[in-house]
Structure formats: structure tokens, C-alpha cells
Amino acid sequence: MDVNSVVSSVLESKKYRDLSEDLVRNVTVTLSYKYSDKELLDKTKAKLRQIWGAYYSSRPDFKKLFGKFLGKKIELADIVKIHSSTKERALDCEKVLSFVTENTEVSRRVLDIGCGLNPILMMITSLQFDDYICFDIDTSQQHFLNEIFKSEGKTNMKAIVCDALMYDFPRAELAILFKLLPVLNQIDSKKCDEFLNKLEVNYLVVSFPNRSLSGKEKGMRENYKIYVEKVSKCGYALIANREFSNETVYIFKKQNRAM
Ligand SMILES: C[S@@+](CC[C@H](N)C(=O)[O-])C[C@H]1O[C@@H](n2cnc3c(N)ncnc32)[C@H](O)[C@@H]1O
């Protein structure tokens, strides 16, 4: 199958139809340099599982979930447990977010890139921003987040669908990249560097899981040094880092740049 046929086939399938077309095309084109037409569809699906599908233990029906939320049958604190990354952060989230506010001058625009359900955690903690924009490749999830923001009167919060590797982000004071860099690197390490270089922010908050999805700790921390170097090379200085129960958070400040 050629690239166009693979992209159409993936987007027509029930499992992957919620994904951003830009992302599916980007992944397929990148893999097409490495694999034959015969292998391309399977390799593309495997990559999509790795960077997106693996984080929901079972795929939520977001329409039904929103109905349950409106009917007061599920609370925000339980919704975050559906995504493995927010489930892991839920335990420590006030501590993680206090660590971020203590080390940054956050107030105005914040970008949360590769957000998953983290925006919901932001809503249920005491942290407030004037303008909070969150980005992910999952169209149903982002629509669901916008519905939740609307129903809770959060006019300062907005969810957008995009492939971070191909998007021009607006300027902001802070960008949150919780557990995102290893995922972007799995798609294309060169484009991951370009993404970091293009961001126009004063502070970057980057985190990594302390264990892999299968629970392994071995080699995880050593691996993250590579990303710390990557971010530093893009003109950011590491100003703080702390290990929490399930993730390690690094805060970087852009050097010589005024907003
Ligand atoms: C490990 S999860 C982290 C979720 C969230 N940041 C958190 O820590 O709670 C990675 C997230 O990145 C999203 N993602 C993967 N590739 C992306 C891309 N190219 N652009 C934007 N988001 C992406 C996935 O859909 C998933 O929600």
C-alpha cells in the first residue's frame, strides 16, 4: 500500500478514526522511508498504538462519558483515572503543580501540549491561568474537553486538535510537556528537536514517567538525561527538578528572552 492508501485505511478504521489526519500522515510518511509498501499499514498502526492507543486501557466513548458527567454519575476526579498518565499524576497533582508555580512566574497564557486528560486535573486543582490552551491528536478527546470546559464555565480554557510536530504554537509564558518528549521522539527525533526549537515560551515544564507502561524502572532515568540535553541545546537552562511518586519533573527557563 502507498502512503495515501495507508492514511485512508487507518482513518476509516474504527480504532483510529479519531486521530488527527496530519498526525496519521506524518507517521506514515516517516515510516515509509524505512518500510516496504507491504509492511507500511501494520507498522503505522503499531506506531499509533505506541504513541496514543496505549494510554487508554480501554477506549472511552466520550459522548457517553460526557452524558454521565452531566447526569452527575461520574466526577471529574474519576474521569482523570481513565488515562494512564493522569491516573499516575492524580495522587501527587497538587504537589506537582505547586512545584511548577513555585519555580515559574505563571499567570497569563499556558500551553499544555500532548495534554491527554491533564486539563481536567488542572480544573480540579487550585491552579488558575488567564488563558489555557491544550493540544492533542485525539479529536474525540479534545471535543470532550471543550464540552467539559463549556459546561463548567471555563471560558479561559480551550482544546485544539493538532500534531505537535507540524503545528505553529502561539507565544506563551509557559508550555507544559508532561510525558510528551519520549512520545514525539518515537515518531521522529529530528522533528522533535525542531518542535523544541520553534516553541516561543519563557518556561518549559517537562516530565517523564518513573516506570514504563509495563512497570519497568530499569534505565528510565538515565534515558531522560538525553532529553534534558536536547532541551538545553535549544537555549533553555534547567532551573529545578524533582522526583514525585510516579514521574520526574524538570523546569527550564529560556535564556535571554523577554516576553
Ligand atoms: C504519555 S501521554 C501524556 C498525556 C499528558 N501529557 C499527561 O501527562 O497526563 C502522551 C500524549 O501525547 C499525545 N500525542 C502523541 N503524539 C502527539 C503529537 N504528535 N502531537 C500532539 N500530541 C501527541 C497522545 O495522544 C497522548 O495524549
- 3-class state of residue 17 by DSSP: coil
In ligand 1, which atom is closest to the CA atom of 26?
19
**Best mutation site among 180, 193, 207, 210 for ligand 1, i.e. most ligand atoms within 8 A of its Cβ?**
180
Digit-coded pLDDT (tens) for 49-92: 999 988 888 889 999 999 999 999 999 999 999 999 999 999 89
Where along the chain do its domains lie? 3-51, 74-254
Let me know if domain 74-254 sits in CATH 3.40.50.150. Answer: yes
Asked if the model's pLDDT at residue 258 lies above 60, the reply is: no
**Pocket perturbation via mutation, ligand 1, pick of 136, 169, 247 by most ligand atoms within 8 A of CB:** 136
Strand-strand pairing, 236-243 and 201-209: unpaired
Burial code (b: 16+ CB inside 10 Å, e: under 16) for 167-191 equals bebeebbbbbbbbbbbbbbebbeeb
Kindly write down the DSSP assignment for every residue of 158-211, as one continuous string.
EEEE--GGG--PPPEEEEEEET-HHHHHHH-HHHHHHHHHH--EEEEEEEEESS
Between vectors from CA 25 to CA 22 and to CA 27, what angle results, nearest 5°? 105
Quickly tell me which residue has 481513565 as its cell: 82
Chain length of the chain: 259
- Which protein residues are within 6 Å of ligand 1, measured from CB? 23, 51-52, 55, 85-86, 89, 114-116, 118, 135-138, 163-165, 178-180, 183-184, 187
- Read off the pTM: 0.95
**What digits encode the pLDDT tens for the residues 165-222?**
999 999 999 999 999 999 999 999 999 999 999 999 999 999 999 877 666 766 677 7
* Tally of CA atoms within 13 A in the half-sphere of 241 that contains its CB: 14
Q: Would you state the cell numbers that stand for residue 172, as one nine-digit string?
A: 506563551
Number of H helices, E strands in the chain: 12, 7
Q: Has residue 107 got a pLDDT over 80?
A: no
Beta bridge partners of 136: 161
